[in-house]
Amino acid sequence: MEESYQNEVEMWEAHVQNEWSEIEEKKERADTLRADITRLTEELNSKSSGLAVEEIRLVVAYPLNQQICRRHSPLRSQLQYDIQRLTTTLQQTNTTLEQAIAMPRYLVRPLPLVKEEACKVLFMLTMPRALEILGNLCLSAQRAIAPVKPTVEMKQVPKLSGTTWQQFRSQHAPSRHFPADKVFTASPREFSLPSSFGPKSVEDVSSRAQYESECVWDLTLCGTALKWKDESGEAVNPFAATATSV
């Protein structure tokens, strides 16, 4: 179990590092885009100033026939074209910058943060087949002496999430899935993932330590339980049957 836990830790650390490297690349890309925006803005201002000067020149040169002279000013036409092109390019670059600095979706730790709790979940997910069979036989034997129709006490199982630990880990771990066809189903208590979490911009994160502290969501563990179903497919606890009902 210790080896399995260490493998999980190493795999998660590598995953976090890969995500942090992506954020660093986004920061570098943002710096390049900002330099492009500065250059484009300066060029646009220069072209706009040039157009204003040309407009004044045309007014002075052709005070009585401005409309005709404007149509025959190649410089004016070229400046207008350049301004339109630069304006479009500047808008596109600003949009690209917004996308570049947008924070990727937050990470979800696939196992409990506390080692002891993580090892419990790992044990449930990797329970040896022989132990599963033994546990199933014990529960089946107890179920056989309980009432055919489950009693209220037998149905009082912990209120668990509809997402099992196997599903939760498969959704958020970078690799190495565990088999889903187990006799016992390990599930956490009910939980809800936030729609958003952590900073919204990569500019607000300056180190990997800050990233891991503010951008990794940990499931608040309020208990984990194993669920077992009898032959009817109903989740019950046969050991909860009272002596009178038996």
pLDDT tens digit sequence for 80-118: 999 999 999 999 999 999 999 999 999 999 998 889 888
Residue 176: count of CB within 10 angstroms of its CB: 12
pLDDT score for 244 = 59
**For residue 63, how many C-alpha atoms fall within 13 Å in the half-sphere facing its CB?**
1
Task: Give the bridge partners for 188, in sequence order.
Answer: 224
Most confident of the following: 4-13, 39-48, 132-141, 194-203:
39-48
- How far, rounded to the nearest angstrom, does the alpha carbon of residue 153 sit from its chain's CA centroid? 40
Task: Give the bridge partners for 226, in sequence order.
Answer: 186
**For residue 177, how many C-alpha atoms fall within 13 Å in the half-sphere facing its CB?**
9
Above 80 in pLDDT, residue 143? no
* Residue range 174-186, pLDDT digits in tens: 876 666 666 677 8
Phi/psi of residue 126, nearest 5 degrees: -120, 25
**pLDDT band per the 50, 70, 90 thresholds, residue 71:** low
Containing 161, the helix (H) or strand (E) segment is: none
Question: Would you list the DSSP string of 156-219?
Answer: ----B-SS-HHHHHHHHSSS-PPPS--SSEEEEBP----S--S-SBGGG--SHHHHHHHSEE--
DSSP annotation of 183 reads S
Choose between 11 and 139: higher pLDDT.
11
* Residue range 149-192, pLDDT digits in tens: 877 777 676 777 888 888 888 889 887 666 666 667 788 888 88
Arithmetic mean of pLDDT, 37-54:
97
**Percentage of residues in the chain having pLDDT higher than 70:** 87
**Average per-residue pLDDT for the chain:** 86
Token readout for 242 is: 């009272």
Arithmetic mean of pLDDT, 56-75:
75
Question: CA 198, CA 108: separation in Å to the nearest integer?
Answer: 12
pTM of this structure: 0.78
Give the domain ranges of the chain. Answer: 2-101, 107-240
pLDDT score for 174 = 84
**pLDDT band per the 50, 70, 90 thresholds, residue 241:** low
- How far, rounded to the nearest angstrom, does the alpha carbon of residue 110 sit from its chain's CA centroid? 12
Choose between 18 and 224: higher pLDDT.
18
Report yes or no: 96 and 33 within 8 Å, Cβ to Cβ. yes
**pLDDT band per the 50, 70, 90 thresholds, residue 240:** low
